Structures are given as C-alpha cells and as structure tokens.
Amino acid sequence: AQSVTQPDIHITVSEGASLELRCNYSYGATPYLFWYVQSPGQGLQLLLKYFSGDTLVQGIKGFEAEFKRSQSSFNLRKPSVHWSDAAEYFCAVGNNAGNMLTFGGGTRLMVKP
C-alpha cells in the first residue's frame, strides 16, 4: 500500500527566509508525486508534480521539489518565502496512472513578518 509522511505538522519561517517542507513516501513502483497547497476555506491547488525524468521539478509560485529515490523523499523548497505563502501544504503519491492519490497529513506554514 502507498503512504506519505509529512513529519512537520507546523513550520514557522520569517518572510524572506528559505523554506523546505519534508515528504517521505512509500510505494512499490516508480511513484507519481505531487505537492498541493490549500488556503483556508479553499480547495487544493497543484504546485508541482513528478512523474519521471529530471529529479528536480519546478512549480508555480517559485516552488521546486527534488525527488530522491534512495531516500524515498520529495521535499518542497522555496528560496524566499512571501507572506502570501502561509497555507497548508500536502504531499501526495499516486499510483501508476497518477490516480488514487494518497495524501500526507499536511504541513501548516506560518510566515512571520
């Protein structure tokens, strides 16, 4: 069975600081990996995805993530955080067609001025 662990429930960073959100997955084959962001009262918006190829993927809003097979990780990064990035972030793994997403528990990001 596939599973996702996001070890950090809450993270607080100062505006302008760099950010890394951790994600570890368990999946028997080559995973389809995703990061979504959810603002309060809203649905989930896709930030980026990894299916194959280059292990460093770029997404929207200046986010990037790196797939590391040896560590079963897909960490999300941003070099300089903006106050508008405060939200909840979800990592997800999908099956061979990218369907049946299994989500991690989420990381709530707070940004200090």
- Provide the binding-site residues for another protein, judged by CB under 8 A: 32, 34, 36, 41-46, 49, 51, 90, 94, 97-106
Q: In sequence order, which residues have a C-beta less than 8 Å from that of residue 43 and are 6 or more positions away?
A: none
Least separation in angstroms between residue 40's CB and another protein is 11
- Residue closer to another protein, measured from CB, 48 or 81: 48
- Residue closer to another protein, measured from CB, 81 or 91: 91
- Residue closer to another protein, measured from CB, 16 or 105: 105
Least separation in angstroms between residue 46's CB and another protein is 6
Q: How far apart are the first and last CA of the chain?
A: 41
* Contact status, residue 45 vs residue 38, Cβ threshold 8 Å: yes
- Taking alpha carbons only, the member of 32, 19, 34 closest to residue 86 is 19
